[in-house]
Each structure stands twice: as structure tokens, then as C-alpha cells.
Amino acid sequence: MTIPDTFNAADYFIDRHLREARGSKVAIECGDERVTYAELAERVSRAGSALRARLDVRIEERVVLLMPDGPAFLYAFFGAIKVGAVPVPVNTLWTSADVEYVLNDSRARVAVVGEGLLHLLAGISPERRPRLRHIVVAGGEARAAEGQVGFDALLADGEPSFDAEPTSKDDAAFWLYSSGSTGAPKGCVHLQHDMRVCTELYARNVLGMSEADRCFSVARLFFAYGLGNGGYCPLGVGATTILWPGAPTAANVFAVIERHRPTLFFSVPTNYGMLLAQHRDEGPDFDLSSIRQGVSAGEALPPVLFERFRQRFGVEILDGIGSTEVLHIFISNRAGRVRPGSSGLLVEGYEVRIVDDEGRPVPCGEVGNLLIKGDSTCAFYWNQHEKTKATIEGHWIRTGDKYHQDEDGYFWYAGRSDDMLKVGGIWVSPVEVENILLEHPAVKECAVAGHPDHDRLVKPAAYVVLRPGVEGSPELAIELQQWVRSRLAEYKRPRWVRFLSELPKTATGKTQRFKLRQHPPDPAH
């Protein structure tokens, strides 16, 4: 894959389709709305030119996008890139304090905000966001008295066509803030060529994605995984993306699948579990027959969910691992060659090392720190020089994950580096214990974290969400401990079991074990 030195991602992912006579093909489906590639190109141009001419957005300046999934998100995202500006998608489930942090950290002069999310800015006084000059309201009425501009009016003012800014392939294209599974989010600066690298290496080469595909992603566009699934990957190959702005409940997801008939379905383990828990009151089961392949990422997919989903719906799920820093999936299972519980094989085009804490390669089968080398890796963390140096080492990036590789080349996740437990001098993977607990019929979800015992020695603690109709009790806690003990080594047995109504998670579905570590388990269990 050769990418020219002068390269603008909006030209490649949007305007190129007009040159390749794909203008009449549907690019986006969202409810009743259908947007062709020609319409998409026009609206991207209008958005970009209006940002530049009406709001004076200049090259390299950031534009925050606080928007639900929908066509307008892609108009704003690629419109900003087309004029050389830098869109910054923001988590729509964040608090006002989080949004305030990103507005000031990114120094954005413009924010495009969905009407239903304006409340997140309402409590942020102008004095606390001094660099923000314009709020563009998408999907609703703009209040001119409050300095707001309507997104539709902005599009109407824009030019229907213009040549993209001749950016370098190594110019900043967009930022993504890390999901915060290990604490405060960090701004990952991604370059113009990064999305094309992921499209070629993963979407085309691993999934075989083509313009015949229809892609539906439960993961949202603000999330690195979702931006690829529902944004640039389908647009990169001329496929159709199916967007859904509503809540990703099991009922809604099934309704979208049955109505829009996707061929590729992207989700996260938590959502796959929710889908399995949903049943029709009467009649045949939900129809997932259009899906040729399911995909999972965000966190490791437990083998029990893989097996249950395949047995019930006949859909094979390809689990993989990616990161905000590397943009999309770099290790993945392959169709027909899945090993349940593993993250799969290295995606061709990336390189991998598994090393100990001193940087020495570990033997095959031994757990170590996962390092990845690939051309989709972000350039750096914005305003976090020391963190950048600690994470990105030349061509290599420390993912923060513990892995081992078997003799057949498959990679097996052992947990986040800061989640791994050393019990009696031996490493314990929380994921291994969680997978065993999930096989118990009473357990819906669970997470394992380390806590000190009375001797200040770290031991495993299990936090369990039970299935509907099951009540937590000391007797059930003991049963779950014995369940693990009968299947794993004694030192891996949870010393405590605490029952919760839900697990703390990021908006992208990752369990936040660091929050569990802040709250001691119930000593009675």
C-alpha cells in the first residue's frame, strides 16, 4: 500500500467515490433516511466550506463533535478534515466536567453539538471555556441570542463542491480521546493516513469488506472501534453504513438488524451478552440470517458468549483487540479459524513483541507485555509529553495489555497490565477467573480485581452481577468460590465475592476495574 505524500482523508473516503462512478450508491442508512455517495460528498463539502468561510475555522484548528450517530456526524467529521481542520469526536455519555476538560484541552474554537446534548454545555460558563467561540446545533433549533448557529443553516451556506486542502499524509487529521478504562482520557493525535491503513489491513484483508457489504456497529462513532466500523471502513470500500442514534438496547439492536439487514455486525462483549438475554415473547427467534460475520472488540470476548451466540443465531464472532492509540484492530481471529477465548492472529501489516518488564522477549506461552508496531499508531498524546514517552517507544507502542502467544501464533489476553494480580508470587489473570465465573448459570456479568487481605497481601476479589431472578447470598458466594476452585488452581480462587446491580464501565463497554479496586469487597462474603 503506497500513500502519496499529499493526501487528504476526506478526498479519499468521500470525494474519490464520485471519480469512481459510485455517486448513486447508498452510503448511509439511518432510520428512513438514505444518503447516496453523491449527497454525502456535497454535504461534506458544504460543512467544511461553511466551517472555514462562516466560522473562520483554519487549518489545524480543532472542532469538537458532541453528536449522536447519524449522517450529520460524518458530514461534520469529514467536512472539517477536508479543509485541513481537526475534528475531535467526544463521548456523548460524558459529564459536563468531562466535556469542559476536552474543550479546554483541545482549545477548540467551534463545537458541533446535537440538540439533545446541549445540556452538557449549559452548565459551562463562557469564562470556563474561554477559547470556544461558536456552538453549532445539529438536529434542532439554534438560539441566535446565545451565539448558536444551526447546522442545517451552515450546510445551506456552504459550497457544494471544492478541492480538498492539500494536506500531507502526516498532517494531523483528527483526535480521539482514550476511553478512560485506566483513568483520565488522553488526546490521541491521529494522522491523515491512519484511517486508510486500518481500512486496508483490517477491513479489506481480514473481513473481506467490499462495497457489497452493509455494516452496522453498536459501538458509537466517537469510539475508535466504532469510527472504523460505522465510519471510514465502509466508506473506504464503497459499502453502506447503517447508523442508529438511539439507545443500544437489545430490543433496538435486534430491530435495526431485522429492518436494515446488515452483513457485518460489530459489537462489544457486554452487548452480545445483552442480546443473548433477550427473547421474543412469542413467535420465532430474532432473524440474524443476513449477518455473514460478527465482530467483537473493546475487551476480551468470553468463550461462553461466543459459543452461545453461535449456537443460537448461527453467527460466528471474530474477537480481536485494538486500541484508541492504534485506531482499530491489530490482532484478530479469522473466519472459520476462531479459537474461542483468544484474540486471534496478528493482522498482516503490524508487528508484535511480548516482553517482560525489562523489555526482554518472553518464551512462547509465557505472559508478558504486548507491544505493537504499525503505521496507524497515533503520533503522540496531546499535551502529555511524559506519558507519550512512556507509551510510544520509537516505532513501538506499549498497549498496556498482558498477553501470551501459543505455538500456533494465537494471542491470549491475560488482562490489563495494571489489572494483573500477583498472588503468592504467581501472576493471576482476572480474565481467566472471570471466564470461569461466567460459566456458572447464576452469573450474568462479573469482574475480578485485586484487594489486600489482613496481611496486606493481594488476593482476587470477584464482583458479580446475577441473572434476573437470582438473589445474592453468602451461600451463593461460597458456591461461586468453589466453582472456580474446582476448575482452576487454588490460588486463583476469589477470596471475596460481592454482588452488584451493575459493573462500572466506560461508555464503550469496558469494565473499569480500577474503580472496583477503590471499594473493598464485602468481608462477609
Cell of 387: 506519558
HSE, side-chain direction, 13 A CA sphere, residue 288: 25
- CATH topology of 9-191 equal to that of 421-517? no
Only one residue has cell 458456591, namely 479
Query: Is 80 exceeded by the pLDDT of residue 151?
Result: yes
- Whether 507 shows a pLDDT value over 80: the answer reads no
User: Is 102 buried (19+), middle (13-18) or exposed (0-12) by CB count in 10 A?
Assistant: buried
E strands present in 84-219: 86-89, 110-114, 134-138, 148-150, 172-177, 187-191, 214-217
CB of 92 closer than 8 Å to CB of 248:
no
Q: Which helix (H) or strand (E) holds 37?
A: helix 37-53
Give the three cell numbers for residue 153.
443553516
| Range in 135-149, 300-314, 344-358 the model is least confident about | 135-149
Burial class (CB in 10 A: 0-12, 13-18, 19+), 317: buried
Terminal-to-terminal C-alpha distance of the chain? 56
pLDDT band at 421 (very low <50, low <70, confident <90, very high): confident
Q: What is the pTM of this model?
A: 0.86
**pLDDT tens digits for 251-278?**
999 999 999 999 999 998 889 988 999 9
Beta strands 496-499; 458-466: pairing state: parallel
Going 191 to 193 to 199 to 201, the CA torsion angle's sign is negative
Q: Confirm if 88 and 175 have CB atoms less than 8 A apart.
A: yes
| Cα–Cα distance for residue pair 245/218, rounded to 1 Å | 10
Please report which confidence band the pLDDT of residue 167 belongs to, taking 50, 70 and 90 as the band edges. Answer: very high
How much is the average pLDDT of 415-433? 79
Number of C-beta neighbours around residue 103 at 10 A: 24
Nearest alpha carbon to residue 438 among 308, 343, 266: 308
Query: What kind and span of H or E run contains 461?
Result: strand 458-466
**pLDDT top residue among 53 and 178:** 53
Quickly count helices (H) and strands (E) in the chain: 17, 26
Residues 6+ apart with CB under 8 A from 112: 63, 64, 65, 66, 67, 72, 76, 136, 138, 151
Give the Cα separation of 15 and 45 in Å (integer).
Answer: 9
User: Is the confidence at residue 49, as pLDDT, over 50?
Assistant: yes
- Give yes or no for residue 181 having a pLDDT over 60: no
Q: What DSSP designation does 139 have?
A: S
Helix 37-53 with 71-82: angle, nearest 10 deg: 60
Q: Residue 213 is which amino acid? A: D
Mutual orientation of helices 250-260 and 269-277 as an angle, nearest 10°? 90
**Per-residue pLDDT at 74 exceeds 90:** yes
d(CA 356, CA 248): 39
Instruction: Work out the average pLDDT over 214-241.
Output: 97
Tell me, what DSSP letter sits at residue 191? E
DSSP3 helix / strand / coil % (the chain, rounded to 5) = 30, 25, 45
Cα separation of 45 and 80, whole Å?
A: 9
Each domain of the chain, given as residue ranges in start order, spans 9-191, 194-416, 421-517
CATH of domain 194-416: 3.40.50.12780
In the predicted model, is pLDDT for residue 417 greater than 90? no
| Gap between the Cα atoms of 510 and 269, Å rounded | 9
Secondary structure element (H or E) that encloses residue 156, with its range: helix 151-157
Mean pLDDT of 292-296: 98
User: Per-residue pLDDT tens for 248-258?
Assistant: 999 999 999 99
- The whole-chain average pLDDT of the chain stands at 93
The stretch 502-516 carries a mean pLDDT of 84
Whether CATH 3.40.50.980 fits 9-191: yes
pLDDT at residue number 425 = 60
Domain 421-517 indexed as CATH 3.40.50.300: no
Q: Are strands 396-405 and 368-373 parallel, antiparallel or unpaired?
A: antiparallel
416 pLDDT above the threshold of 90: no
Task: Give alpha helix (H) positions in 285-422.
Answer: 303-313, 385-391
